[in-house]
């Protein structure tokens, strides 16, 4: 199964004469990106007419995209009230990350057992690109999206050799929802943390085929992110 990552596209270069299927895909990608990046805030009402004015893609493609996002639990469809972005909460995030860690352990264990040299090369290449992508200050959405895309590629590469389409499907959904929450953290002051060193340590353990160490390092990596996000969610915003 091919693991998908999101990289923003320049919609202005796409023809306005595209077929409805293309417009639906474009509406889906735009909405999905803005939800994951926090441009559309948790709980925000999603009115098709407002979104059409924003994207100029047509009401039908936007409605179809909202339904598709509803199946991914990124959007909540409400009877007679339209749609809204899924809310966030500390309780849901704790449950999400607990599940993410469990799935991550399964995926990593199988990837280390089954992965070949091509898998190793992809993981190395993904981290190489990530380490050469400057950490943005998170005031620039373009730089943030670029770093996030490369970050997602590295994490996706690590689990890509697990040999199970179902595990990868669950992993991708959990990673999507984790990204929604991580953007909450990235919008605030960042704690002193060497994320690049954490990634390198994980890669080194993978290349040694040290399953226990890889899983332990990834678990710690995810827990650090969880603690930071929970702190951001529960700390009152200073006036």
What mean pLDDT do residues 12-26 have? 57
Q: Are the C-beta atoms of 114 and 193 separated by less than 8 Å?
A: no
Query: Would you call 132 helix, strand, or coil by DSSP?
Result: coil
| Res 28: pLDDT | 93
Read off the pLDDT of each residue in 99-125 and give the average, rounded to a whole number.
98
Give percent of the chain with pLDDT exceeding 70: 85
Taken in order 115, 116, 122, 125, is the CA torsion positive or negative? positive
Enumerate domains of the chain plus CATH numbers. Answer: 14-85 (1.10.10.10), 90-234 (1.20.120.530)
Q: Per residue in 116-169, pLDDT tens?
A: 999 999 999 999 999 999 876 667 778 888 888 999 999 999 999 999 999 999
Q: Using DSSP bridges, classify how beta strands 75-78 and 45-46 pair: parallel, antiparallel or unpaired.
A: unpaired
Strand 45-46 relative to strand 82-85: parallel, antiparallel, unpaired? antiparallel
Backbone φ and ψ of 163, nearest 5°: 80, 10
Contacts of 137 (CB under 8 A, 6+ apart): 143
- More reliable by pLDDT, 143 or 89: 89
Q: Are 55 and 92 in contact (CB under 8 A)?
A: no
Lowest mean pLDDT among 60-74, 133-147, 220-234: 133-147
Q: Which of 95, 103, 136, 50 is nearest to 215 (CA)?
A: 103
The confidence score (pLDDT) of residue 235 equals: 72
Confidence check: pLDDT of 192 > 70: no
Q: Residue 234: is its pLDDT beyond 90?
A: no
Q: Do 157 and 123 meet the contact criterion of CB atoms below 8 Å apart?
A: yes
Q: Which residue has the tokens 């999206």?
A: 145
SS3 75: strand
Residue predicted with more confidence, 207 or 1: 207
What percent of the chain has a predicted confidence (pLDDT) above 90? 65
Residue 11 confidence class, pLDDT cut points 50, 70, 90: very low
Beta bridge mates, 199: none
Burial of 73 (0-12, 13-18, 19+ CB in 10 A): exposed
Long-range CB contact pairs, 114-120, < 8 A, 24+? 114/161, 114/162, 114/163, 115/161, 116/161, 119/157, 119/160, 119/161, 120/206, 120/207
List Cβ neighbours of 172 (8 Å cut-off, separation of 6 or more).
Answer: 3, 4, 156
Q: Is the pLDDT of residue 15 over 60?
A: no
3-state secondary structure of 46: strand
Quick count: other Cβ atoms within 10 Å of Cβ 106? 16
Span 187-212, average pLDDT: 86
Residue 238 pLDDT level (bands cut at 50, 70, 90): low
pLDDT at 89 over 80: yes
């Amino acid at each position: 199964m091919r693991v998908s990552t999101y990289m923003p596209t320049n919609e202005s270069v796409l023809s306005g004469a595209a077929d409805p299927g293309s417009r639906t895909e474009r509406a889906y990608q735009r909405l999905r990106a803005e939800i994951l990046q926090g441009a559309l805030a948790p709980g925000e009402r999603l009115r098709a007419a407002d979104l059409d004015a924003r994207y100029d893609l047509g009401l039908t493609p936007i409605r179809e995209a909202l339904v598709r996002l509803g199946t991914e639990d990124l959007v909540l469809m409400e009877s007679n009230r339209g749609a809204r972005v899924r809310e966030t909460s500390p309780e849901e995030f704790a449950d999400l990350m607990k599940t993410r860690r469990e799935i991550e352990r399964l995926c990593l264990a199988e990837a280390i057992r089954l992965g070949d040299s091509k898998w190793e090369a992809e993981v190395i290449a993904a981290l190489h690109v990530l380490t050469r992508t400057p950490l943005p200050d998170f005031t620039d959405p373009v730089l943030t999206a670029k770093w996030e895309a490369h970050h997602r590629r590295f994490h996706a590469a690590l689990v890509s050799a697990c040999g199970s389409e179902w595990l990868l499907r669950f992993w991708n959904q959990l990673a999507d929802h984790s990204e929604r929450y991580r953007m909450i953290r990235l919008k605030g002051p960042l704690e002193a943390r060497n994320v690049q060193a954490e990634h390198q340590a994980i890669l080194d353990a993978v290349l040694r085929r040290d399953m226990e160490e890889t899983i332990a390092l990834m678990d710690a990596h995810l827990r650090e992110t969880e603690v930071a996000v929970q702190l951001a969610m529960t700390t009152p915003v200073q006036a």
